[in-house]
Structures are given as C-alpha cells and as structure tokens.
C-alpha cells in the first residue's frame, strides 16, 4: 500500500509539471504551489481521484495564466526523501522556499454516495488564509467539472488578495508591539516573533512571524503593520483572538434524536473556538444522516460572536429520506433471492410503505442484515459462505437506493467426529451424552454454540464458574465434514462469598433471600442462579431481575 501512495504522488506532480506552460499573454502571472492533496485511505481508487482532481484544477489555473511552482522540489521530497503527506507547516515552508505567492492545500473525501474536495488558499505574503472552497458531487465526473470551474474562482481570489496588499515598507525597526489580544499574554505572542528591534524590516521574516503566531491556534486572524511614529518605526502585530464558546446548539433535526447528534459534536462550552473541529463535526453529522438514508441532508455550522464569546449553531436541513427501490442478490443458488431477502430487515419500498415503513434504509440495519445472511448459511452447513461484495447505488436525484449483494455459498458440510479434550468431570461418556449435535447431521453453528453453553452450565453447577470451553473445528474438504473437539479448561472452583441485594424499595431482603437457591459460602452453581432469577420473576414484584457476578 505504501508503494501505491508513493506512485500516486509522483504521478500527480509530474502531471502538473506537464500542464505548467507559459502564462497567457496579457494576464498577470501568479506563482502557486500545489502539494498533493490529502486523500482517504491508500486505495488505488483514492489515488486516481486525487490525481484527476489535481489535474483538472491545475489545467484550469495554467490555462488562465497561473504558474505552478515548486515542481522539482516536490519531486525531490517524494522520490529521495519519501515524503507521502504534506502538513500545513511543511507546505508553507516549501512555498516560501520556492518563492510562491500562494499555496493551495486540499483534502478529498469519498463515500459510497458522494465525492468532495475542500481547499484552502494561503497567501504567503501575509501568511493568512485568503479563501476557502468546498465542492461535493455525486460522481467523480461531476467533481472534476466542479474542480475545473473552481480554477477561475481561485485565480480571481489570488488576484484580489495580491492587489489588496499594502505597499512594501522598509527601514529599521525601533520597537515591536502586539495589539488586539485580551486573554493571551503579550509575552506569549512575542516568543513566536523572530523580528527584532534595531534590525531592518524584512517582509519574509514578518510573514514567518505571522504564520508562527497563527499556528498557536489562539487567533482567528493575524496581520502586521509597520508605521512611523514620533518614537520611530513601530512593527505592530494585530491579532483577533478566537472567541470562547458560550453555547452549542442544534436546530432542524427531526428524524434523528438530538442525543445522537450531540454525541458527534466534540466542541465544548467554555473552550476556545476551533474552526477545523467545527467543520469536522458538521461532516460527521452529515455522515450520520447519510447512514440513516438522508443523503440530501445539509449541515451548516453557524457562529455568532462579539469577538469575546461565541454561540455555535449546527443548522440541519434533513431533506427527503432515500428509499430502497430494489435489492438484487447475486450468487445465491441453494436459496432463492426472495429467501435471502426474507432474512433481511431492510426491504424494498412497497405500495403501503406509509403503514409498514418498508423501504427505509439504515447503514446499521443493513450491516446487521449481512450478518443475518451469513448466519443463515453457517447454520445450514455452508461454512465457506461469504459476502463477496455489497454495492449501494444512489439514483441521480438521491431519492432511490439500489442495493446489490454478491455472495458465494460453497459446499454444504456435515458434522464429523465429536470429541472432548482437557479437564474431564464425571467421565467423557457422560459429558458426550449432554451434547446435542450428532455426527452426519448438517453443520449448525448455532447448535454448536448451544452445546458450549450446555457444557459451561454443567461445569458451572460443579462450582467452576470460569470454565473455558473452546470448540475446535477441523474441516475435511474431501468428505465435506467438520470434526469438533470441545477443549475444556475448568480453572479454579468458585465459592459464593456474599450476596448483595440492591434496587428493592418495598420488598424486604429476607423475602428475596427465601427465593434464592444459592447460599453464601456455598459452591457456585449456574443452574442455581438461573432458578433464583426465575423464582424472583415469578413473584411479580420486580420489573427486572439481573444477577451480576
């Protein structure tokens, strides 16, 4: 997988290099560095998506007149130093080194329902974010079209940022000041500054100072100003602090309970606002809605701030719920497609879905459906059955879902020899008689599990509460059988030290103890505990009875 990522990064860089031709006549040339965008996972599909999006964006920028900077330096980092991920600090440092005007930092996100790209444009002269962009589309082709159109917006924003820059100033710095900070101590800010009094003003040094101050995470904006005063030239770093979060709320959620939504929001009150965490929480909420079938849901984080305190609101527009139009099963031979569908809780939308709620899709329910299908095969002797693939295809209007399940059944197996090993109590023959599975019967995983419980209870009644029962299975592919050996480790016997009773308000302890079939100081008994629980339930006084060991 590492080779795939390295191969992709190189491909993306070389492609951009080919696109980087001379600027169009009459247009203002701007140098922009494009480090490889972050991409989900290491899969080849993600690498292709990253390459194609970067190609599309670079093609548009080159056609307008931008110059892609730092190609040779990127190649050096990838091929010789093995760099496969570019942090913001590394990217901005490289941008300064190759004398770029701007850096484009991007991240790609892909799911079964959508593809998205998020980009930040960093102005290296000021060291601050000039613009940000977010585009999502239901297909790769549509996302590439979006990237191509986005190039024009990026170029215009670069021109606008460059034209709005103040004229470069020069001279010897007489003093350095920080303004705008309320909670962050001035000394803490000054520690990040490399510019010094008595030295000539350097735009490059100031740019690095701004980036260092901004990287602390305490400030929403940072810029520098060199002004002439009666006491000489003063270099002032003007900061705007991140506000403290006063309140976090959610609005517009009707189909999903607020507790589930709040569980995804890792933004806490009385902490400093972090916009990256803010947008990450919004993405998680949107993903939750997608899992529940609301692929058109939009989540917008809104911040109201007076500069000191902020209120964060996640405004949700749920949109219509996607419905399952068709479920297709491929590879089912022993059982028909309808038999497989009957095992699933996910079903196709019918005429009376308004009564039955049929057609509703939930990622959690669907995942459990796949487990139910496999459980059915395992309980009927198909020990090599497997889900080869699962595809969820969303219609263009995002209202209908088409599900395809591809599976393999394999051959049916039967039980072979049944045996016991390990610590025996009362002899092997007596214990074998308690086991229900029989030789030559169809292999059944559920019945095998029940026999494990039977043996565990037998040992539990003898005081071995923590007996370890492991069913060892040995398939014979020629005979199509599975030999089973129950390996037993009884461990140490357990005695009941004390019986505590909690939760009873009106019923006295002595009434409850009369129904108990285990006593303090006695040897542990599994069946005794079960009978005790049943006795208490029969009293009818309690809503629930649980026994914890």
Q: What is the pLDDT of residues 499-511, one digit of tens each?
A: 777 776 677 767 7
For 64-120, how does the pLDDT look when each residue is reduced to its tens digit (9 = 90+)? 888 888 888 887 777 766 676 777 777 888 888 888 889 998 888 876 667 788 898
For 452-473, how does the pLDDT look when each residue is reduced to its tens digit (9 = 90+)? 999 998 888 888 888 899 999 9
**Chain mean pLDDT for the chain:** 81
State mean pLDDT over 317-345.
88
* Residue 161 near residue 209 (C-beta atoms within 8 A): no
Three-state SS for 536? helix
pLDDT of res. 163: 67
State mean pLDDT over 1-18.
33
pLDDT of res. 383: 94
pLDDT above 70 as % of the chain: 86
For 296-312, how does the pLDDT look when each residue is reduced to its tens digit (9 = 90+)? 788 888 888 777 788 88
Whether residue 239 has pLDDT greater than 70: yes
Whether residue 278 has pLDDT greater than 70: yes
State mean pLDDT over 283-289.
86
Q: How far apart are CA 178 and CA 236, in angstroms?
A: 6
Phi, psi (5° rounding) for residue 403? Answer: -105, 130
pLDDT of res. 290: 80
Task: Identify the band that residue 522 occupies on the pLDDT scale cut at 50, 70 and 90.
Answer: confident
pLDDT of res. 330: 93
* Residue 323 near residue 361 (C-beta atoms within 8 A): yes
Whether residue 3 has pLDDT greater than 90: no
Task: Identify the band that residue 269 occupies on the pLDDT scale cut at 50, 70 and 90.
Answer: confident
pLDDT of res. 404: 94
Whether residue 18 has pLDDT greater than 60: no
Who wins on pLDDT, 294 or 509?
294
- Taking the alpha carbons of 209, 215, 217, 219 in that order, is the dihedral positive or negative? positive
Number of Cβ within a 10 Å radius of residue 324: 21
> SS3 for 34-86, per residue?
CCCCECCCCCHHHHHHHHHHHHHHHHHHHHHCCEEECHHHHHHHHHCCCCCCC
For 123-143, how does the pLDDT look when each residue is reduced to its tens digit (9 = 90+)? 887 777 888 888 877 777 878
pLDDT of res. 167: 53
For 341-369, how does the pLDDT look when each residue is reduced to its tens digit (9 = 90+)? 999 988 887 655 444 556 677 778 888 99
Query: Which residues, listed in sequence order, are joined to residue 245 by a DSSP beta bridge?
Result: 310
Task: Identify the band that residue 1 occupies on the pLDDT scale cut at 50, 70 and 90.
Answer: very low
Whether residue 168 has pLDDT greater than 60: no
pLDDT above 90 as % of the chain: 20
Task: Identify the band that residue 388 occupies on the pLDDT scale cut at 50, 70 and 90.
Answer: very high
pLDDT of res. 540: 66
Q: Are strands 219-229 and 102-110 parallel, antiparallel or unpaired?
A: unpaired
pLDDT of res. 12: 37
pLDDT of res. 421: 92
Cα 53 to Cα 148, 218, 283: the distances in Å are: 8, 33, 20
pLDDT of res. 148: 81
State mean pLDDT over 379-404.
89
Closest of 407, 401, 411 to residue 343, by C-alpha: 407
* Residue 237 near residue 224 (C-beta atoms within 8 A): yes
Q: Which tokens is 236 given? A: 């002032």
Whether residue 174 has pLDDT greater than 60: yes
Q: How far apart are CA 423 and CA 427, in angstroms?
A: 10
Model pTM score: 0.51
Enumerate residues 6+ apart whose C-beta is below 8 A from 323: 293, 349, 353, 359, 360, 361, 399, 400, 401
* Residue 80 near residue 1 (C-beta atoms within 8 A): no
Number of Cβ within a 10 Å radius of residue 342: 11
pLDDT of res. 84: 66
Q: How far apart are CA 294 and CA 317, in angstroms?
A: 10
For 405-445, how does the pLDDT look when each residue is reduced to its tens digit (9 = 90+)? 999 999 999 999 999 999 888 788 888 988 999 999 999 99
- Taking the alpha carbons of 499, 503, 509, 512 in that order, is the dihedral positive or negative? negative
Task: Identify the band that residue 258 occupies on the pLDDT scale cut at 50, 70 and 90.
Answer: confident
State mean pLDDT over 371-397.
91
Q: Which tokens is 239 given? A: 């900061």
Q: Which tokens is 536 given? A: 């208490």
Q: Are strands 244-251 and 309-317 parallel, antiparallel or unpaired?
A: parallel
For 41-66, how does the pLDDT look when each residue is reduced to its tens digit (9 = 90+)? 545 556 777 888 888 888 888 888 88
pLDDT of res. 41: 58
State mean pLDDT over 391-399.
83
């Amino acid at each position: 997988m590492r080779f795939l990522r390295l191969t992709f990064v190189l491909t993306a860089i070389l492609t951009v290099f080919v696109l980087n031709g001379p600027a169009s006549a009459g247009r203002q040339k701007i140098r922009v560095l494009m480090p490889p965008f972050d991409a989900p996972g290491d899969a080849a599909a993600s690498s292709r998506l990253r390459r194609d999006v970067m190609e599309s964006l670079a093609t548009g920028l080159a056609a307008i007149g931008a110059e892609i900077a730092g190609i040779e330096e990127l190649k050096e980092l990838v091929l010789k130093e093995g760099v496969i991920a570019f942090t913001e600090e590394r990217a901005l440092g490289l941008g300064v080194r190759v004398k770029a005007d701007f850096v484009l930092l991007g991240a790609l996100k892909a799911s079964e329902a959508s593809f998205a790209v998020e980009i930040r444009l960093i102005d290296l002269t000021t060291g601050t974010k000039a613009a940000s962009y977010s585009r999502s589309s239901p297909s790769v082709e549509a996302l590439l079209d979006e990237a191509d159109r986005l190039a024009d917006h990026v170029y215009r924003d670069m021109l606008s940022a460059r034209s709005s820059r103040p004229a470069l100033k020069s001279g010897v710095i007489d003093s350095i000041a920080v303004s705008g900070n309320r909670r962050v101590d001035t000394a803490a800010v000054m520690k990040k500054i490399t510019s010094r009094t008595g030295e000539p003003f350097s735009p490059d040094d100031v740019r690095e100072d701004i980036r260092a101050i901004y990287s602390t995470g305490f400030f929403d904006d940072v810029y520098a100003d060199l002004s002439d005063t009666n006491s000489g030239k003063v270099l002032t770093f003007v900061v705007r602090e991140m506000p403290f979060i006063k309140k976090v709320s959610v609005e517009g959620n009707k189909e999903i309970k607020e507790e589930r939504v709040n569980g995804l929001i890792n933004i806490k009150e009385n902490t400093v606002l972090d916009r990256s965490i803010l947008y990450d929480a919004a993405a998680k909420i949107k993903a939750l809605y997608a899992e529940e079938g609301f692929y058109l849901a939009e989540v917008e984080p809104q911040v109201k701030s007076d500069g000191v305190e902020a209120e964060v609101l996640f405004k949700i527009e749920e949109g219509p719920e996607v419905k399952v139009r068709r479920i297709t099963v491929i590879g089912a031979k022993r059982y028909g497609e309808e038999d497989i569908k009957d095992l699933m809780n996910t079903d196709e939308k019918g005429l009376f879905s308004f009564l039955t709620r049929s057609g509703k899709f939930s990622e959690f329910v669907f995942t459990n459906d796949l487990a139910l299908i496999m459980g059915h095969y395992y309980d009927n002797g198909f020990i090599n059955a497997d889900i080869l693939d699962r595809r969820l295809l969303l219609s263009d209007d995002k209202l209908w879902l088409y599900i395809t399940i591809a599976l393999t059944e394999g051959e049916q197996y039967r039980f072979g020899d049944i045996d016991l090993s390990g610590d025996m109590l009362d002899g092997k023959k007596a214990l074998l008689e308690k086991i229900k599975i029989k030789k030559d019967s169809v292999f059944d995983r559920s019945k095998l599990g029940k026999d494990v419980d039977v043996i565990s209870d037998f040992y539990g009644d003898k005081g071995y509460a923590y007996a370890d029962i492991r069913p060892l299975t040995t398939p014979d592919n020629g005979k199509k059988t599975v030999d089973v050996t129950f390996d037993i480790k009884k461990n140490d016997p357990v005695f009941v030290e004390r019986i505590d009773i909690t939760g009873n308000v009106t019923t006295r302890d002595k009434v409850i103890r009369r129904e108990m079939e285990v006593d303090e100081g006695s040897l542990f008994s599994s069946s005794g505990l079960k009978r005790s629980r049943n006795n208490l339930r029969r009293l009818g006084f309690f809503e629930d009875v649980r026994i914890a060991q």
